[in-house]
Amino acid sequence: MADRKAMLERIRESFDISRRDAAQIVKNFHVEMKRGLEGRQSSLKMIPTYVDRPTGREKGKFIALDLGGTNFRLLALELKGGGRISVRLIRNFALRKEHITKKGTGLFDLLASSVKAFLKKSGFANSRDINLGFTFSFPIAQSGIASGTLVAWTKGFNAKGVVGKDVVSLLEQALVRNGISHVKVRALANDTVGTLIARSYSDHDCDVGVIIGTGTNACYAEKVKNIKKWEGPAPRTDNMIINIEWGNFNKLKLSCYDRLLDGKSGNPGEQIMEKMVSGMYLGKLCGIVLKDLVEKKYILHFLPRKASSKIAMLRSEDISAIQADKTGSLAGVRNILENIGIRLSSREDRKIIKEVCAIISRRAARICAAAVVSVIRKIDPFILRKHTIAIDGSVYEKYTGFSSNMRSFVKEILGAKACRLRLVLSKDGSGKGAAIIAAVANCEGA
Ligand code: BGC
């Protein structure tokens, strides 16, 4: 028993993020942000997006195509001005493994044929020219409001022949191959940018967009004079949204378990923060820690050594459900274990499993809180103004205790000034935002 207590204490320590750690994260974040903005080597790519926030007056009918994970979605919507958006139709589509890992043309052909089928239902089919906003949630080096090349795949994607290519051209070619010539791709956006833009269409305090889902990232409105690497024409406003690509931030304290997870991943050394925070990895990370505890005989003693990897089958949704179990006997945890083939567990085992999941997800929320504070302090060092932080993603929305852990750490770090920050769940913004950018591009005749 004493052993187990000491073991839990060790795990707690290796996943702890104190206020002092948060201060260090903010400092490192600022160094990396500055380097990225200067075009120097940095784990933060700080990608200029060619757009600023909308005025709220943009109008028109648009289609949005939103690809960012194992699902993609199509939206038909109308911007009515005055910050009002009416969504006419939304359809979700699932990607199969072959679309994610085989030839890129297969992936883009699927997107194009889905656009074709969707247009028939959307009521837009007979319009002469249809403007499309394309949300593509991977690191893109943008070369215009509607062009950009894929720098690297993340989130387990590996479709061939896409890295280094302009993804808008790939989509347009696929549309033509599929017999669609009246759809024009007017905007290319990251999901964080879409989320920020969609919220700021009606909320002028919004200057940060965050996604904490399968992957994680954020963007914010930066003064153009601070974007030292920017060589393009000065935009009309003095600001431009910067896609930080914070999932790749690597100045964080790693535990031995994080190193193991990174080593086993498809992109070792990359997306370090994403591997500590996002839905794609939280389950895997808990699995690695718990497997170690099984092998060291701290939990589930009767499980034969060769069956220890069963515990590593937990998914992020399971981890969330484990934490939500408030029953005295932890019957919910028992069910989840049974589902992955572990039929026998003691209450003490289940208690430890629940505690480990809580430790790991609490760290994830605290890292995100420190990262949000870093971004706000970059925009407004003394936090003199109000800021809305628009957040979307399954982990933030659904994961037990995640958003409240995040908010309470923001309060701990900032004290009274935390009341100037509003962290708001902004659902479905990624697609809507791309349509708003398309509207902006259309007005500017881009
Ligand atoms: C991608 C980002 C994206 C984030 C959230 C990351 O893996 O690199 O571009 O914004 O996931 O979807």
- Kindly state if the Cβ of 207 falls inside 6 Å of ligand 1: no
Q: Are 31 and 40 in contact (CB under 8 A)?
A: no
What is the per-residue DSSP string for 286-355? HHHHHHHHHHTTSS-TTS-GGGGGGGGG--HHHHHHHHH---TT-HHHHHHHHHTT-----HHHHHHHHH
**What's the pLDDT at 441?**
80
Distance CA 213, CA 26 (A): 22
What confidence score (pLDDT) does residue 33 get? 98
∠ Cα 438 118 165 (to 5°)? 55
CB environment 376-403: b (16+ within 10 A), e (fewer) = bbbbeeebeeebbbbbbbbbbeebbebb
> pLDDT tens track of the chain, all 446 residues?
559 899 999 999 999 999 999 999 999 999 999 999 999 999 999 999 999 999 888 889 999 999 988 889 999 999 998 888 898 899 999 999 999 999 999 999 999 999 999 998 887 766 778 999 999 999 999 999 999 999 999 999 999 999 999 999 999 999 999 999 999 999 999 999 999 999 999 999 999 999 999 999 999 999 999 999 999 877 788 899 999 999 999 999 999 999 999 999 999 999 999 999 999 999 999 999 999 999 999 999 888 877 888 999 999 999 999 999 999 999 999 999 999 999 999 999 999 999 999 999 999 999 999 999 999 999 999 999 999 999 999 999 999 999 999 999 999 999 999 999 999 999 989 989 999 998 888 765 44
Sheet containing strand 47-48, edge to edge, reads: 47-48, 239-243, 216-223, 206-212, 387-392, 421-425
Based on the residue annotation, tell me whether 191 is a catalytic residue of this protein.
yes
Indicate which atom in ligand 1 lies nearest the CA of residue 140. Answer: 9
Ligand 1 atom showing the smallest separation from residue 192 Cα = 10
Q: Is the CB of 154 under 6 A from ligand 1?
A: yes
Rounded CA separation 36/22 (Å): 21
Classified as helix, coil or strand, 142 is strand
- Token readout for 357 is 């999941």
What are the E-state strand segments in 25-100? 47-48, 59-67, 71-81, 84-94
pLDDT of residue 122: 82
User: φ and ψ at 152, to 5 degrees?
Assistant: -160, 150
What is the rounded distance in angstroms from the CA atom of residue 73 to the CA atom of residue 57? Answer: 25
State whether the beta carbon of 155 lies less than 6 angstroms from ligand 1: yes
Strands 147-150 and 216-223, sheet pairing: unpaired
CA–centroid distance, residue 47 to ligand 1 (Å): 13
pTM score, whole prediction: 0.95
- Give Cα separations from 42 to 158, 223, 250, 263 (angstroms): 23, 20, 9, 21
Domains assigned to the chain: 47-202+428-438 (3.30.420.40)
Ligand 1 pocket check for 215: Cβ under 6 Å:
yes
Q: Rounded to the nearest whole angstrom, what is the distance from the C-alpha of residue 218 to the centroid of ligand 1?
A: 8
Helix (H) or strand (E) holding 143: strand 140-144
d(CA 168, CA 134): 8
- pLDDT score of 32: 98
Number of DSSP helices (H) and strands (E) in the chain, helices first = 15, 13
Amino acid at 221: A
